[in-house]
Amino acid sequence: MYPKELPIEKLPPAESLPDKIFALPELHYPKKINIGKIFVDENARKHRNKVAILYNDQRIKYGELQTIVNRLGNALLDYGIKKCDRIALVTPNIPEHIYVLMACWKIGAIPVLCSHLEKSDRLAYKFRDSDSKIAVVTSDSLEEVKKAKEESEIEDIICVEKCEDGLINFYDFINSAPPYLDAANTTRDHIGRIIYTSGTTGLPKGVIATYSDILSAGDTFGKYILGVKNNDVIGGHPYFFFAFGSVNFTFIPWRFGATLSIIRHFTPEIMFKKIENHRITILCCVPTAFNMMLQIPDAEKRYDLSSLRLAQSAGEPLPKQTIMEFEKRFGIRIIDALGSSELNYWVSTRVDTPFEKLGSTGLPVPGYEVKIIDPETGEEVDFGEVGIMYTRGPMGFQYWNKPEKQKSLVVDGWSNTELFFKKDEDGYLWYVSRSDDMIVTSGYKISPHEVENAILTHPAVQEVAVIPKPDEIRGSIIKAFIVLKEGYKPSDDLIREIQEHVKQVIEPYKYPREIEFLTELPKTMTGKIQRFVLVQREKERMRKGHND
């Protein structure tokens, strides 16, 4: 299946590979394909003078993109990069990231996506795990990458900006290389990307995406959910090294000859200005970013947002309240999609999702199958009952150098998402919790997501994170950490008011017995709320309390 040039000990064991199914005709790809040729050469042939990338005041056309990619590909080959060699990408969202991806794809090298915000120890681990040969960096990460180089087999560092002696300047590297490049002889099973999970429960896991997997993102989610056309401008803030940004910005646009709008740093005001200036049609943001945008007074009057036709959320569950408020103010429906590094997107709402289904995660994306399994019996559960979601489709779990994880999460060809869901009689899927997030209190199993949604309907609440707090009598109790909207102040009266409000929205026993107000919630670099940080904080408080 995978290229013979790769070390077999790093690849998923053959007996635990997922069953990939290709239920749609467009998913039947020929054996020999090269996605660099598809994304670069074919688009340049069809619309050479069409803008491919918008970045600040740059307007990079498909013909220009092809020339840069070809020069970079030739420079990498002259350097000694061979088919299947790994190249670490440690950059924020900039055009050069796209150039490196496409050059790798065209010559058959494998890009390894790393966060430019990580410290040297994590970077060194990823460099070693992937056996990366060179690293491409910006000034954001240069010092940490230099330290990581000493602890890995990285041979050289290519700097996009502020290059130092002894390092390779990106544009000096490519400028003298020929502008013509034949695509490597590769297949649909060639590895097109290794991306790393967040590693919140252990070391980050390298996740494989083949050329077939990458194309399928556009041919399932891009086509049937986003409805992408070549006149679309896709933009937003998620980082390219984050599954959301990788799929939406580095896979999908090029399948349709669309335009990518890039921003390097996010603030709500910057995002609104980019929508206006780049004429973004499809906006991609995590729920936190949408909530931040909703805090900007009169944004719908201050900015020209008329180009927008669709907004999409991913990364963590999207509260119904956010969907309703965003549509009320901006006239745009946010669709909520369930995606991951391992699977692209496999469940999503649509723009025509009925009002009563808002807050659900939607229906399976065309091309994917889903079943909800009782974790104790292994049997499918009835409608309305909670179980673990399994899925299969054109992409499945494929881990790099993690054979035990591969064996544990692929069951009879199905990928175990480790997410608790329930399905209603109309087939809509409702998120309950991660398998390690479920709160058990006084014998009840309670979804923190359900409690958070109830709390968010209170007018004072901007953000919330719900966790289990250890309790000697109940095992654990529900505790909520809340960030208030401007104009509201913490008080005991407000705590009681929010608790009573929750009792009216959901079953009374699910109310948070403790509420703590914070000025901000801990988040990952990609904007996800880090509930485990709050859990550890509570455990540490209890430990100190017992020792006092």
H helix intervals, 150-264: 170-175, 211-217, 223-224, 243-245, 252-256
| Closest to 236 measured CA to CA, from 280, 270, 284 | 284
Helix (H, G, I), strand (E, B) or coil at 342: coil
Average pLDDT over every residue of 290-303: 94
Q: Helices 448-456 and 320-330, interaxial angle, to 10°?
A: 40
Give CA–CA dist 16/519, Å, rounded.
46
- Specify the pLDDT at position 226: 98
DSSP, collapsed to helix, strand or coil, labels residue 535 as helix
Say which residue, 426 or 509, is predicted with more confidence: 426
Q: Give the CATH number of domain 437-547.
A: 3.30.300.30
Among candidate residues 93, 7, 163, 174, the one with its CA nearest the CA of residue 525: 93
CA 92 to chain centre: 14
492-505 and 448-456 helices, crossing angle to 10°: 110
pLDDT digit string (tens) for 214-270?
999 999 999 999 999 999 999 999 999 999 999 999 999 999 999 999 999 999 999
User: What pLDDT score was predicted for residue 433?
Assistant: 75
- The predicted pLDDT at position 435 comes to 65
- Burial of 279 (C-beta count, 10 Å sphere; 0-12/13-18/19+): middle
Q: Which of 39-48, 239-248, 425-434 has the lowest mean pLDDT?
A: 425-434
pLDDT of amino acid 473: 66
Encode pLDDT of 99-127 as tens digits. Answer: 999 999 999 999 999 999 888 998 999 99
CATH code, 218-436:
3.40.50.12780
Residue 539 confidence (pLDDT): 80
- What is the structure's pLDDT at 443? 59
Helix (H, G, I), strand (E, B), or coil: what is residue 287?
A: helix
**Per-residue model confidence (pLDDT) at position 1:** 82
Domain ranges of the chain: 218-436, 437-547
